[in-house]
Structures are given as C-alpha cells and as structure tokens.
Chain A
C-alpha cells in the first residue's frame, strides 16, 4: 500500500536554483494538496487541486508553482529557490474536496543555502 509517495525525500539547493517536488497517489483520490511545515508554524497550505485540471492558491503560494499532471500526480516547483523556502514539504490527498480526511506523504526536506 504505497498511498502518497513524494520524491525526493531530501534536497539541498543553492539560492536561485530551481527544482520540482513530485507527488503521486494511488488511492484514486480527486483532491491533492501541498503543505509546508516550519518549526512552531504548524502546517500551511501552499497550493491545492480540488480535482484533475484545477489548481488554486493556498495560504502561502508566493515563490511556488504547481502542476496537476493527471489524477495521480501533483508536482510543486520552486523556480528560484530562496533560503526562506527551507522547510519540510508534505503532499496530501483526499477523496474529494469536501472532506478534511487527508492522507499525507512522508515529506520532503528541502534546504536552501
């Protein structure tokens, strides 16, 4: 049971570099989400996709872009990484947008130097 799979698990970038975090779910869920977790800040929503073909901004979208490639995959791109984007990133999915019952991946730890 893979659930939600994120890659890579760890990444170190230099300021200004770009990268894409990949996320895939095998639960046939319609909705997918990207969160970031910082010490003392809880989980903050970056972007979400209520269904295939749609994406919307969350609480902290600046500096990020997303692509809902198909029903299974939702990627997060940092075009020009900044030290403030050092964080742990979590992808999550839910059966639909109306439920708060999210399934999370194991996280991707990103450090920007």
Chain B
C-alpha cells in the first residue's frame, strides 16, 4: 500500500523551542493534513492543506504543502507543555476511489518544562 515517511519518529525538546517535522511520499497527494493525538485520546485535525505551495497557520502551528505535492511540513513555534502528543501527517489522493487517507506513523513530541 501507500506509504508516508514521517520524521523524526520522536523529539524531546525544551519548552520555548521551535519544532519542525515533515512527511514525504513517493506518490503525489492532492490534500495534506496534520493531526494531533493527545495521550489517551483520538486524533484531532490541526491543519488541512489543499493546494501545492500553500502555507497555512493555526496559532503557533504552520504547515506547508510541498510544491512537488509529495511532501508536507509542520512547524510549531515557542513550544509549551500542552504540545506533547503524537503528530500524524495524512495524505489524500482524491477522486474516484482514491479518497481514503494514508497516515504517517507519527512523530512523538515530548516537551520538557
């Protein structure tokens, strides 16, 4: 099946630091999404990107849809303890039967107060 390579697998940072993570694929996707999963909860959508080159912010979070449509990036500025969790990227090809999401394996973020 399709694979998304998400990196890094885990990060341990100090409060206040900026964070960057990315997701790459050998296939083109028409939509990229970023989800966050708090411990013991289900994933929650953070940002959805629909156009190559698009840069979208949600508070301290900024995500970009790569120009090749094969990658996406998520940045978190000035991290705080509640940023702890697993961040998943997801891609959707779209059209016909290709609307199912493909998820990356996640980036586990730990923030040290």
Residues of chain A at the chain B interface (Cβ within 8 Å)? 4, 40-45, 48, 50, 58-59, 90, 92, 97-107
Give the tally of cross-chain contacts (CB within 8 A).
51
A98 contacts which of B1, B6, B40, B94 (Cβ < 8 Å)?
B94
Interchain CB contact under 8 A, B42 and A40: no
Interchain CB contact under 8 A, A98 and B105: no
A-B contacts, 21 of them at CB < 8 A, read A4-B42, A42-B6, A42-B103, A42-B105, A43-B43, A43-B88, A44-B103, A48-B100, A58-B100, A90-B42, A97-B99, A98-B94, A100-B90, A100-B99, A100-B101, A101-B33, A101-B45, A101-B48, A104-B42, A105-B42, A107-B42
Interchain CB contact under 8 A, B33 and A104: no
| Residues of the B chain whose Cβ atoms lie less than 8 Å from the Cβ of A40 | 105
The complex places the Cα of A99 from the Cα of B103 at a distance, in Å, of 14
The complex places the Cα of A103 from the Cα of B6 at a distance, in Å, of 21
- How many chain B residues touch the partner (CB < 8 A)? 23
A107 closest partner in B (C-beta): B42
Shortest Cβ distance from residue B31 to the other chain A in the assembled complex, whole angstroms: 5
A44 closest partner in B (C-beta): B103
The complex places the Cα of A44 from the Cα of B41 at a distance, in Å, of 16
Interchain CB contact under 8 A, A43 and B100: no
Shortest Cβ distance from residue A106 to the other chain B in the assembled complex, whole angstroms: 5
| Residues of the B chain whose Cβ atoms lie less than 8 Å from the Cβ of A99 | 99
A102 contacts which of B40, B94, B101, B105 (Cβ < 8 Å)?
B101
Shortest Cβ distance from residue B34 to the other chain A in the assembled complex, whole angstroms: 11
| Residues of the A chain whose Cβ atoms lie less than 8 Å from the Cβ of B33 | 100-101
